[in-house]
Amino acid sequence: MNGFFNTPPAVNEPVYAYAPGSAERAHLKAALAEARAQELDVPMFIGSEEVRTGKLQRMAPPHDHAHTLGHFHVGDASHVKQAIAAAMAAKPAWEAMPWEQRAGIFLKAAELFSSKYRYAINAATMLAQSKNAYQAEIDAACELIDFLNFNVQFMTEIYSDQPPAQTKGIWNRLEYRPLEGFVFAVTPFNFTAISGNLPTAPAMMGNVVVWKPSETQVYSAQLLMRVFKEAGLPDGVINLIYTPGPETGDIVFKHPEFSGLHFTGSTGVFRTMWKLIGENIATYKSYPRIVGETGGKDFILAHASADQKALVAAIIRGAFEFQGQKCSAASRVYIPKSIWPIVKEMLVAEMATLKVGPTEDFGNFVNAVIDERAFDKISSYIDQAKKDGVEVLCGGSYDKSKGYFIQPTILMAPSARYRTMCEEIFGPVLTIWVYEDADWANMFELVDSTSEYALTGAIFSQNRYAATEATWALRNSAGNFYINDKPTGAVVGQQPFGGGRGSGTNDKAGAKVNLLRWTSQRTIKETFNPPTDYRYPFLSEE
Ligand code: NAD
């Protein structure tokens, strides 16, 4: 096939509103009912095989843990090895496939998620990860579709980026090869879109992938995999396995063909992986690409000039949507004393209106946290705060009898560096520090140095000098910085996402720079009339 093909221009997927009486709401409710009525038997996908080990792990909605959604088949070390072998077997044909054919697969997957599977993937995310209808829609449908469509566009932009200079008689070309070996994609529980993006971004660039999702996200991950296959993804290009993290890492990170890690998850796990990779560095054929987006302790800094209503809305959405389980969730807020009384009054009144409960009841803004381990960890922070005599402004109670429900909680920091101002809790717990207005200029150093992370942060100010000062002073405190907006909800193609320091390698998910990491460039210089004599003119006698 000859031609410089243009791909359809990427545009952000429209977000459905799911208002009462709408057709989309009826479709989503039907998909939820259908999924609830079934018990899935979920295999691993290795090469052309659906692998069932008989060692079953139960899947349940976090908001109704007695209900069984199905079981997945747990693998062991042998399946990790099989997955690597299947990936390597698929590699020659996959990397030889013309890019436009690869693009066609992922564009088709985007279309399938936009139409045929939109409600199914949203329902899966609502049931198994306890995201409400809107949170599921912006993640499992829209962000996932955007990742696929925009990445195809970025791929073509990368491939068309060629050396700017040519000289007479010479043709310079850049070829963007996939990495030798295989890429290991390790995905978190909290975003279905991230789970879909981490294996597909390297695959799109011609790589083969071993994909290990979080065990609490297998329910939606397996549907992603089925749709990728329906879109035409050949066997073995992405291999989906459910194996214990450390056991998987132990095999992958000792394999000579390991060529890249695409990770999103906690900082501690990423550091463990990096260390293992370092220990095995001499084993590998190539220096592996290490891309990791990790934890956050995301801030909102309000100036005395802040729009108070906008600030309150941003605090509630930023801290409590999806139960604060976004890496970007606001979890520490700095408010000046002069506006605190009015902000406090509005905040407490609004917090009293938040409903907590299952996702299948659409009136609930806050749902359950992902599992018992998370519930116990988050509630222990609340217990400790109470023991420490910390003022609990809102919430503070929790109950795991039916689902893992934690009331959205606001703590008043007894000191600016109280524990809950510094550590990632990853739940619906926000801490507020009220500062003296005169201390504004000292706030930057405090905000910047309070945590080891640098993922997202927001300032609220109607005073442009204050906004300018904060934007400069906090330039390394967040990879995604917001002015008069909440620190969550980055949109692919609009706000490339990622942070530095303890928050990751900042290789911006769903951006050109990320896709570049999955390529290894080959420069080709072709000379049409090469010299036939080694002697330069300067060598000649006078
Ligand atoms: P996690 O670190 O517990 O798990 C992530 C993945 O790593 C899972 O698939 C897990 O099974 C696997 N894993 C754990 N130990 C392993 C090991 N030793 N070897 C190989 N794999 C191993 O994270 P999580 O609870 O699923 O997700 C929440 C975390 O992810 C939070 O810290 C959050 O901030 C972060 N996160 C960051 C971003 C971002 O873009 N920066 C986005 C989403 C989530």
Token pair for 324:
């604060």
- Segment 177-200 mean pLDDT: 98
Mean pLDDT of 398-427: 98
Index of the ligand 1 atom closest to the CA of residue 272: 18
* Residue that has been written with the tokens 């429900």 in this structure: 405
How far apart (Å, rounded) are the C-alpha atoms in residues 216 and 240? 14
**What is the CA(536)–ligand 1 centre distance, in A?**
59
For residue 70 the two structure tokens come to: 């199905």
* Mean pLDDT calculated for residue range 333-348: 98
Q: In the annotation, is 327 catalytic?
A: yes
What lies within 8 Å, CB to CB, of 476 at 6+ separation is 448, 454, 500, 501
The per-residue DSSP string of 369-432 comes to: -S-HHHHHHHHHHHHHHHHTT-EEEE---EE-SSS-EE--EEEE-SSTT-HHHHS---SSEEEE
Q: What percent of the chain has pLDDT over 70?
A: 100
Task: Give residue 542's pLDDT band: very low, low, confident or very high (50, 70, 90).
Answer: confident
Closest residue (by CA) to atom 13 of ligand 1?
Answer: 245
Q: Tell me what pLDDT residue 481 has.
A: 98
Which of the following is catalytic: 143, 293, 321, 424? 293
Ligand 1 neighbourhood includes 510 CB (under 6 angstroms) = no
Catalytic residue among 321, 327, 424, 469: 327
- Whether 48 shows a pLDDT value over 80: the answer reads yes
* pLDDT at residue 291 is higher than 80: yes
Pocket test for ligand 1, best of 189, 209, 451 (most atoms within 8 A of CB): 189
Q: Please report, as a single letter, which amino acid is at residue 514.
A: N
Instruction: Give yes or no for residue 254 having a pLDDT over 80.
Output: yes
**Is the confidence at residue 279, as pLDDT, over 90?**
yes
Alpha carbon nearest to ligand 1 atom 9, residue: 214
DSSP secondary structure of 111-135 = HHHHTTTHHHHHHHHHHHS---HHH
CA-proximal residue: ligand 1, atom 26 (nearest): 188
Joined together, the tokens standing for residue 465 give: 């000098």
Q: Is 189 left (phi over 0), alpha (psi -120 to 50) or beta?
A: alpha
Distance, in Å, from the CA atom of 49 to the CA atom of 435, rounded to the nearest integer, reads: 60
Pocket test of ligand 1: the residue of 195, 218, 269, 377 to mutate, having most ligand atoms within 8 Å of its CB, is 269
Any ligand 1 atom below 6 A from CB of 257: no
How far apart (Å, rounded) are the C-alpha atoms in residues 499 and 456? 7
Q: What mean pLDDT is predicted for residues 442-468?
A: 98
- Are 74 and 52 in contact by the 8 Å Cβ rule? The answer is no
Neighbours of 76 (CB within 10 A): 14
Q: Where are the domains of the chain?
A: 27-294+504-525, 298-483
DSSP 8-state assignment for residue 474: T
Bridge partners of residue 178, in order along the sequence: 519
**Eight-class DSSP state of 137:** I
pLDDT range class, residue 70, cuts 50, 70, 90: very high
Q: Strand pairing partners for 509?
A: 497
Q: What Å distances lie between residue 526 and 159, 174, 222, 532, 534, CA to CA? A: 18, 11, 46, 15, 18
Distance CA 313, CA 305 (A): 16
CA of residue 187 to ligand 1 center, whole Å: 6
SS (H, E, C) 260-323: EEEEECCHHHHHHHHHHHHHCHHHCCCCCEEEEECCCCEEEEECCCCCHHHHHHHHHHHHHHHH
SS3 content of the chain, % helix, strand, coil (to 5): 40, 20, 40
Question: Cα(231) to centroid of ligand 1, in Å?
Answer: 27
Give the E-state strand segments of 96-235 in sequence order: 170-178, 182-186, 208-212
C-alpha span between 256 and 235 (Å, rounded): 22
pLDDT tens per residue, range 123-160: 999 999 999 999 999 999 999 999 999 999 999 999 99
- Tokens read off for 143: 């962000």
Report the predicted TM-score, pTM, of the whole model to 2 decimal places: 0.97
Residue with tokens 């979890």: 331
Across the chain, what does the average pLDDT equal? 98
Pick the closest to residue 306 from 505, 486, 54, 162 (CA basis): 486
What top-level class would CATH report for the domain 27-294+504-525? alpha beta
How far apart, in whole angstroms, are the C-alpha atoms of residue 211 and residue 45? 10
CA distances from 402 to 368, 371, 395, 472, 509 (A): 10, 12, 18, 47, 36
In this predicted structure, what is the pLDDT of residue 1? 77
Please determine, looking at this structure, whether the domain spanning 298-483 carries the CATH number 3.30.1370.60. no
Give the H/E segment covering residue 236: none
pLDDT per residue over 370-412, tens digit each?
999 999 999 999 999 999 999 999 999 999 999 999 999 999 9
Give the integer Cα–Cα distance in Å for 407 and 368.
Answer: 9
Q: Is 324 within 8 Å of 407 (Cβ atoms)?
A: no
Tell me which residue of 508, 533, 434 sits closest to 147, measured CA to CA. Answer: 508
Residue 418: pLDDT band by 50, 70, 90 thresholds?
A: very high
Q: Which residues contact 264 (CB under 8 A, 6 or more apart)?
A: 186, 187, 188, 191, 194, 198, 292, 293, 294, 327, 509
CA 114 to each of CA 144, 234, 483: distance values in angstroms, whole numbers, following the listed order: 9, 21, 31
Tens digits of residue pLDDT in 305-328: 999 999 999 999 999 999 999 999
